[in-house]
Amino acid sequence: MATGDPSLAALAPVVRAFVQHHRIPTDSVRADGRLVLTIDQRYRVHVLAAPHNRVALQSELLPLPEHADSRTDDILLRLAKTAAGLLQQHASTLCIDRKRQALVLQHTVAAGADVQALQDALADFSNVLAFWSRLCRTEAAALQAERA
């Protein structure tokens, strides 16, 4: 993979270096500058530029209904309380995507991070992602059962 590869041009410098270091196929890079990774053959993680020269790691946890009801609000409130309680232990937190269609786990990597820092952040993120994925699946199943 050449440094001048046009598919890498939109990537943040540390992400570009990460892709080159790990020889990640260029088809994992989207035209909008996102790198899409599959971790543990089950979790899709988007690595993208964030404000102030930072890098964001994001993964969708739970699709949100177009018209939320009080049960959906209750689930989101429980998840938000859990996230608040974990802020001191993990850099990852919950947010809602820009289109307000999904609950997302996000981790921000500091500006000026090197490849090792990005690698470490991805490792931590994948561990936290496993926890949140299980919790969100459990909440979604409970909601389905209530509605049935």
Give yes or no for residue 25 having a pLDDT over 80.
Answer: yes
For 69-126, the pLDDT digits (tens) are: 788 888 888 899 989 888 788 889 899 988 888 999 999 999 889 999 999 999 999 9
Determine the Cα–Cα distance for residues 131 and 71; give it in Å rounded to an integer. Answer: 22
**How much helix, strand and coil, in percent to the nearest 5, is found in the chain?**
45, 25, 30
Give yes or no for residue 18 having a pLDDT over 70.
Answer: yes
Q: Which residues contact 81 (CB under 8 A, 6 or more apart)?
A: none
Rounded to two decimals, what is the model's pTM? 0.86
Give yes or no for residue 2 having a pLDDT over 50.
Answer: no
* pLDDT cut 90: percent of the chain above it: 50
Distance of CA 35 to the CA centre of its chain: 11
Determine the Cα–Cα distance for residues 105 and 57; give it in Å rounded to an integer. Answer: 8
| Domains of the chain with bracketed CATH | 6-147 (3.30.1460.10)
